[in-house]
Structure 1
Amino acid sequence: RHYIFRMTKTGTALQVAAQLAGQPGVKHVEPVLKRQLSKRLVPNDPLFSQQWTLLNTGQNGATAGADINVTNVWDSYRGSGIVVGVIDDGFQYLHPDLAANAVTNIHYDYRDNDSDPKPEGTGANADSHGTACAGVIAARGNNGIGLAGVAFEASLVGLRLIGGTAGDTQEGAALSHSNSVIHIYNNSWGPNDDGKTKGGAGTLALAALKNGVNSGRDGRGNIYVWAAGNGGLNKDNAGYDSYNGSIYTISVGALNDLGQKADYSERGACLVVTAPSGAESGQNGRPQGTTTTDVAGEDGYNNSTKTVGPVGPDELADRNYTQNFNGTSSAAPVVSGVVALMLQANPNLGWRDVQEILIRSATQTDPTNSEWRTNKAGFKFNPNFGAGRVNAGAAVALATNWANLPTMTSTASEQASLSVAIPDNDSNGITRSFDLSASNLRVEQAVVTVDITHPFRGDLVINLISPSGTVSPLAELHDDNNADYQAMTFRSTFNWGEDSKGVWQVQISDRRANNTGSLTRAKLEVFGTTPSTPTMLAKTLGSGQFIFGVTGTPALAYTLQVNTNATATNWTTLFSTNAPASVFDLIDSSASGPRRFYR
């Protein structure tokens, strides 16, 4: 049952709400305060009505509301002052819907070694991928033409890298390019999505990522957004890709217009969030894709072989735009745009703050999916979705008053020089335990590195189990007939907010017959922060009730204990709760006796 109490004064309402919260049988109390309502900005761009990724009204059979909740943000933030580097096959910076946001003085072409990143090729061979990504991020909105990007007043820098041959040197340079000026790097590229290619990132690229988060953006850290990959139908996993496997990147999966995992999108315990993209490639997939900019004057995605009309049937009549962009390549720039809005709202966010805000604010998409799990800290994760669908409105709201996370630290345990046989075709496999009982971290991410000899590594399933029982699927059964995992690193975001203390387990099993292998090395490294000692401010609410204002660490579990004697050794636990914010309240509604002592 729901009850509404009307008060004449705001202060009275808050006081009564606090008193009611401690009463038996009361599940939830909140003050309902009057607030000024305002209209949401709806851009005047003629194609905006098709941009279901930004405002899903049920276009073409889509699920209304399965969007990124961004239109209310635009009244206050549109990405102004934030610079996004688009590492891609170039982008058409003179496109009529991109030119106003292009920062021409720091573009660079790492394939031709010049300062002009315009896409190459003509006709059907024109490079069009980067132009489409740039439009998703920051096509100039509310200008009466075309469409609107997520952060439609953000600045764009073209960094031409992919589409031809590029080595580790070029990758490292692109990922470091002007990192004091560029805030966010969008990366809609990676290794082959065949389910058999592992790793991918070279030494210099990985070093650039680490340098970027430590030194870029005036020490607050560059934000690296990465497409999870499109090998879902090949049973590829984003975690097999060392770009997505880096703790320094935001791994992004893709959704269709129903809010479900796009069939091509790769799973993985490394996923942070997912974003709308669409245009599934499977036989029964949803066909509706993303509307964005296309190379003007060339046959890009919207080419001369397509039947056009006002909105189709195949493509748009205006060939400067396309309605068929898709893949995690389209999902990643959605998140880059959301991060631009967050950084405009709070430029002081660190790179880890951005990750946590995205996790905290994500919407649990496709909630009936059976793989949703809640970790010990109360965060929901799913190998198909990460923490869920990116939610711009919620993310910006959190960012506005966010207290930055403390300095990151880590603890590690390694088992080397092993020779542990992995039983053939045995789901029980082997388990290696890592005792981190001496540690005291609020976990953010966990990384497992293994050396395994096996002639058919696709037979192997690898899981990480935290002391709280959270299972992170690191490697899954798939068709990879290549041999061995050598110095293979897997990353999990699924333990975010949990306590590191206790025994962690790495389970490895062989799920197909006729091939055997052995584990020769395993290492676990857990990254997070040392929890701060909480402070408590006690306030009397009334007879038999006390409220405590606590300053602590968000999502960490806190236990309130009580005793009638300050020197006693036996304390009674009243309850434990996960801190919802850095400042929160604990209430003892059963106080009795002349005095009580708390800790």
Structure 2
Amino acid sequence: MRTFFHNQIFSLVAIATVFNGCLDSNGKDRDIQVFERKKVSFSTPQTKSLYAGTPNDPIYPYQWHLEILEIENIWSKYTGKGVSVAVVDSGVEALHPDLYNNIDFNKSYRYSDGSNDPSPDRRQLQNDPYTNGHGTACAGIIGASGWNGEGVIGVAPCVDIVGLNPFSTGLDGDFEDALGRLDIDISNNSWGGDISNVLYDDPPSMRGIEQGIKYGRQGKGIIYLFASGNEGHNANYSTLHGSPYVFNIGAVTRDGEVPLYSNFGDNILVVAPAGDEYRLFQNWGIFTTDLLGMDKGFDSYRIYTPVLRKYQGDYTGFMNGTSSAVPVASGVVALMLEANPNLTYRDVKYILIHTAIPWNIYRPEYMWSRNGAGILYSPYYGFGIINPPKAVEMAENFETLPPQQEVTKSQISNTPIPDNSEEGITSEIEIDESLKIEHVQIEVDIEAENISDIDIDLISPSGTVSKILFDHLIIDGNLEGWIFNSLKFVDEDSKGIWTIRVADTLEGSFSYLKSWKIRILGRKE
């Protein structure tokens, strides 16, 4: 099963804040200007807004994520025009006045009835009016229209939004189709497995992604962005999120801290601004579009963003979680692709890595370290906070990376793992080929009575240690043939001896390393 990655935490104290925190000393609403809803219909002509300087969208002053990322400085050159972003989600409100002009209805699809209306269907709204506003919120962060005097503005306000709604059925085949569509440039996915502390594999979705990488964008590959998840667990539990074809995006809040909910691990690429679930009523959420009306979307609990009470429920300031970080990153990638449509998915990943801003590097809890190529990496921040101005600047004249190559080698071990031992056992594989590393996978075959006892480290020839498995939170799964991923070795040389260290650190169970395999993706330079 699949689920969304935004949080639903509302306390009685927080609810009281709604009604006490929206008045000034004179008892008047501290609200921004009243919104007059402009009705649209499918017969209304679509007209994209054009760049017109500082946005006149009235909620723009509350969109703090755009300010700290300096997005406004990019819009005079790039707005995402001509770039197609699929929102693979619960649906996108087709008639929302801040989304309608940017939705590509020819490509959008609702799987429950075969309609090109990407909105949540009636069953979705009846069963869960709150959660099914999720896709509309993501779409607004990516590409709400700008300079139209209404609501909010997206990171890429002239992008083409393609609403794909496989959650209307939940069928594996529909997710495979939505991810394998070849008429888009970017795929935004703020979802993952619905149980946080079990190993998660999703072959149908991976088949769709592999199709898009191989054939999408005339062979340059669709850019797939996924939310790392909101459980505060190791993102390496998921083979989908760790795939070399996926950009695994974590969250960072308004103060630059990684929130406790954001999943961590050595497969995190970068982090992007996201809402802080504990300070939503202090305007620390992401302000975006919501399902129309007071009874659907984030307003369905009758809890309203204080400064938006007069907006009739069509907008929210409560979007949060890694679900809100991914569409920020998707919007940034859209700006990059407008700047240079020839970028491959590998080029985009390279640029994000080499322009990200390392943050809080002296805080030990974030586990920053420098790899053998001199690049800083943290399992919480990845390579750092996404940096739109620098990423777009590098994208403009970027020369495509040399073709990707790979080397794979396996080792039979057949070695018992000592119980209750931090030292564990080691096994080595020597790689003769020299590649500049882009991604490393290991496939382990470990028999274990209790997989939550197992720690796994991978050590490169340069001495860099990637902690693959270490948090002891898994309650279910099988490590026999399981694949883990690491980005920590980026730009190191693959040649030399690679070492896996496996330990059973808790008492009372038997475990056994049968074999392991390493797969290194990189390029000759």
Q: TM-score range by the shorter chain?
A: 0.7 to 0.9
Equivalent in the alignment of 1:565: none
Query: What is the deviation of 1:454?
Result: 1.0
1:354-406: per-residue Cα shift (whole Å, max 9, x none)? 00100001111233322111222222110001111111101001101111100
> Identity, % of aligned pairs?
37
C-alpha contact 1:302 1:316 (8 A) present in aligned 2: no
Distance 1:450 1:40 in 2: 55
Distance 1:316 1:190 in 2: 34
1:236-275 mapped onto 2 (5 Å cutoff): 236-275=233-272
Aligned partner of 1:173: which letter? Answer: D
Distance 1:464 1:122 in 2: 46
C-alpha contact 1:172 1:205 (8 A) present in aligned 2: yes
Q: Secondary structure at the match of 2:221?
A: coil
Equivalent in the alignment of 2:499: 505
1:572-587 mapped onto 2 (5 Å cutoff): none
Query: What is the deviation of 1:304?
Result: 5.7
Distance 1:445 1:307 in 2: 43
Residue 192 (structure 2) pairs with residue 194 (structure 1): no
Equivalent in the alignment of 2:120: 119
Equivalent in the alignment of 2:175: 171
Q: Which of 298, 317, 322 pairs up with 1:301? A: 298
Residue 415 (structure 2) pairs with residue 420 (structure 1): yes
Equivalent in the alignment of 1:143: 148
Q: Which of 341, 363, 372 pairs up with 2:368? A: 372
Query: What is the deviation of 1:164?
Result: 5.2
Query: What is the deviation of 1:218?
Result: 0.8
Equivalent in the alignment of 2:63: 51
Residue 158 (structure 2) pairs with residue 153 (structure 1): yes
Query: What is the deviation of 1:484?
Result: 3.1
Query: What is the deviation of 1:291?
Result: 0.6
Q: Secondary structure at the match of 2:499?
A: strand
Equivalent in the alignment of 1:110: 111
Distance 1:326 1:68 in 2: 17
1:504-583 mapped onto 2 (5 Å cutoff): 504-531=498-525
Aligned partner of 2:354: which letter? Answer: R
- CA gap of 1:285–1:274, structure 2 versus 1, over 3 A, is farther
- CA gap of 1:419–1:156, structure 2 versus 1, over 3 A, is same
Query: What is the deviation of 1:285?
Result: 12
For the aligned residues, what is the CA RMSD?
2.1
Q: Secondary structure at the match of 2:191?
A: coil
1:467-497: per-residue Cα shift (whole Å, max 9, x none)? 1111212112223233531221111111111
Aligned partner of 2:270: which letter? Answer: V
Aligned partner of 2:163: which letter? Answer: G
Equivalent in the alignment of 1:397: 393
- CA gap of 1:106–1:261, structure 2 versus 1, over 3 A, is same
Distance 2:200 2:127 in 1: 32
C-alpha contact 1:373 1:382 (8 A) present in aligned 2: yes
Q: Secondary structure at the match of 1:521?
A: strand
Query: What is the deviation of 1:252?
Result: 0.1
Aligned partner of 1:134: which letter? Answer: A
Distance 2:179 2:447 in 1: 33
Q: Which of 372, 380, 384 pairs up with 2:380? A: 384
Aligned partner of 1:382: which letter? Answer: S
Equivalent in the alignment of 1:98: 99
Q: Secondary structure at the match of 2:492?
A: coil
**TM score, norm. by length of structure 2:** 0.85
- CA gap of 1:308–1:413, structure 2 versus 1, over 3 A, is closer
Query: What is the deviation of 1:302?
Result: 2.5
C-alpha contact 2:78 2:338 (8 A) present in aligned 1: yes
Equivalent in the alignment of 1:444: 438
C-alpha contact 1:465 1:505 (8 A) present in aligned 2: yes
1:183-222 mapped onto 2 (5 Å cutoff): 183-195=185-197, 197-202=198-203, 204-222=204-222
C-alpha contact 2:84 2:162 (8 A) present in aligned 1: yes
Q: Which of 314, 332, 335 pairs up with 1:341? A: 335
The unaligned stretches of length 5 or more in structure 2 are 1-50
Q: Is the radius of gyration larger for structure 1 or structure 2?
A: 1
C-alpha contact 1:193 1:231 (8 A) present in aligned 2: no
Distance 2:336 2:304 in 1: 39
Query: What is the deviation of 1:192?
Result: 2.2
Query: What is the deviation of 1:316?
Result: 6.7
C-alpha contact 2:371 2:377 (8 A) present in aligned 1: yes
Distance 1:285 1:508 in 2: 45
Distance 2:281 2:519 in 1: 39
1:389-447: per-residue Cα shift (whole Å, max 9, x none)? 1111010011011111000001111124x4211111111111111111x2110111100
Residue 287 (structure 2) pairs with residue 288 (structure 1): no
Equivalent in the alignment of 1:74: 75
Q: Secondary structure at the match of 1:212?
A: helix
Aligned partner of 2:338: which letter? Answer: Q
1:257-315: per-residue Cα shift (whole Å, max 9, x none)? 11111111000111110001022359x9987211110001242113362255435xxx6
C-alpha contact 2:305 2:317 (8 A) present in aligned 1: no
- CA gap of 1:397–1:526, structure 2 versus 1, over 3 A, is same
Q: What number of residue pairs does the alignment pair up?
A: 468
Aligned partner of 1:52: which letter? Answer: W
C-alpha contact 1:279 1:285 (8 A) present in aligned 2: no
Query: Structure 1 residues 407-416 or 112-121, which shifts more?
Result: 112-121
Q: Secondary structure at the match of 1:86?
A: strand
Q: Secondary structure at the match of 2:433?
A: coil
- CA gap of 1:308–1:448, structure 2 versus 1, over 3 A, is closer
The unaligned stretches of length 5 or more in structure 1 are 1-38, 56-66, 532-599
Q: Secondary structure at the match of 2:422?
A: strand
Aligned partner of 1:213: which letter? Answer: I
Greater RCO (CA < 8 Å, at least 6 residues apart) = 2
Aligned partner of 2:260: which letter? Answer: D
Distance 1:455 1:272 in 2: 32
Distance 1:163 1:482 in 2: 28
Equivalent in the alignment of 1:331: 325
1:548-595: per-residue Cα shift (whole Å, max 9, x none)? xxxxxxxxxxxxxxxxxxxxxxxxxxxxxxxxxxxxxxxxxxxxxxxx
Distance 1:420 1:231 in 2: 33
Equivalent in the alignment of 1:456: 450
C-alpha contact 2:356 2:385 (8 A) present in aligned 1: yes
Distance 2:107 2:376 in 1: 40
